[in-house]
Amino acid sequence: MKTLKGPAIFLAQFLGDEAPFNTLDSIAAWAAGLGFKGVQVPTWDKRVFDLEQAATSPEYCAQFQATLAQHGLEVTELSTHLQGQLVAVHPAYDDMFDGFAPESLRANPKARQAWAVEQLLLAAKASKNLGLKAHATFSGALLWPYLYPWPQRPAGLVESGFAELAKRWLPILDAFDAAGVDVCYEIHPGEDLHDGATFERFLAAVNHHPRANILFDPSHFVLQQLDYVAFIDRYHARIKMFHVKDAEFNPSAQQGVYGGYENWVDRAGRFRSLGDGQVDFKQIFSKFAAYDYSGWAVLEWECCLKHPEEGAKEGALFIREHIIRVTERAFDDFAKSGIDDAKNRKILGL
């Protein structure tokens, strides 16, 4: 069995214009000071990472890794959540998602999508240059407006949507395959890949591509009321990345899964800092130990109540205390009899 790595932290929610969150060196020092061993890096923020340079310059990648190493850190994975979202956007969301793209591409969905695909191809090269084995992203969504079938969905609509999604992602998956890197889709509401059933639809549409894998985040499953422990049992072979994020679901007479359009703090389902929600992380870490998950446990801080710096400080300790150092021998090895095959056959009366 393997002991997973950690704790690590996803930097996206912490980057800002004020020190220590505005440069790679200073945010690395901050993360290391809290006890983190790795950082998951967003590729859209040039304050800490230049995707184009990383894709074309091994020297840049070596310098980037050296900066982290000075603080005892390593890069766990790169993230293209924002760019991946733009690979597939339903027109209803064009205006809202335009902010994820460069200003020159806004109000031009075709150019925006082409840019997003190129970003993913650069991320494959950058991941290879950094020696990484997994990459975090979103699938995007063409079908999300039709999630709840009223009026009745036209026959074939879902199949057409997944066929188009697969068509857009297959060349990207092939590029990551050539780079030796798994694409890990965060299973997330708002994406066409938002639960196990939709992931299986996509997997079939991309011919069970070996690089089509999963970023497991139990918080999104709590909010959907999905069995996140059984999810690991079913999909562990495809889970290549782990966001450690907590959540709670407290339905009332007023609202349930859909949330009544309330703000996050007033919703039945809310993201919480680690240890403040309802996720059973002891079961999750035990499942990962049993299934030989060898990747990182990465804190993603999202909480409607607690300050992010408090969430990060508490989260590093929380993850460290939940990591199971797996055993190298059976607990009853002391009672080994040393019996050989001939003796075993004799015991069986053979």
Span 81-117, pLDDT tens digits: 999 999 999 999 999 999 999 999 999 999 999 999 9
Band of pLDDT at residue 2, cut at 50, 70 and 90 = confident
CATH for 189: 3.20.20.150
Q: Report the SS3 class of residue 270.
A: strand
Q: CB neighbours (10 Å) of residue 336?
A: 8
Q: Return the percentage of the chain with pLDDT > 70, whole number.
A: 99
| Degrees to nearest 5, angle at CA 309 with 304 and 314 | 90
- The pLDDT of residue 259 is 96
CA 66 to chain centroid? 25
Where does the pLDDT of residue 336 fall: very low under 50, low under 70, confident under 90, or very high at 90 and above? Answer: confident
pLDDT of 157 strictly over 80: yes
Domain enclosing residue 234, as ranges: 5-347
d(C-alpha 268, C-alpha 187), whole Å: 20
Residues 40-60: tens digit of each pLDDT:
999 999 999 999 999 999 999
Give CA–CA dist 129/10, Å, rounded.
20
Burial class (CB in 10 A: 0-12, 13-18, 19+), 129: buried
- 61 CA to centre of own chain: 22
* pTM (two decimals): 0.95
Q: Are 52 and 121 in contact (CB under 8 A)?
A: no
Q: Cα 123 vs. chain centroid, distance in angstroms?
A: 15
Q: How many domains does the chain contain in total?
A: 1
For residues 271 and 264, what is the distance between their CA atoms, to the nearest angstrom? 8
Q: Do residues 183 and 154 lie in contact, with contact meaning Cβ atoms separated by under 8 Å?
A: no
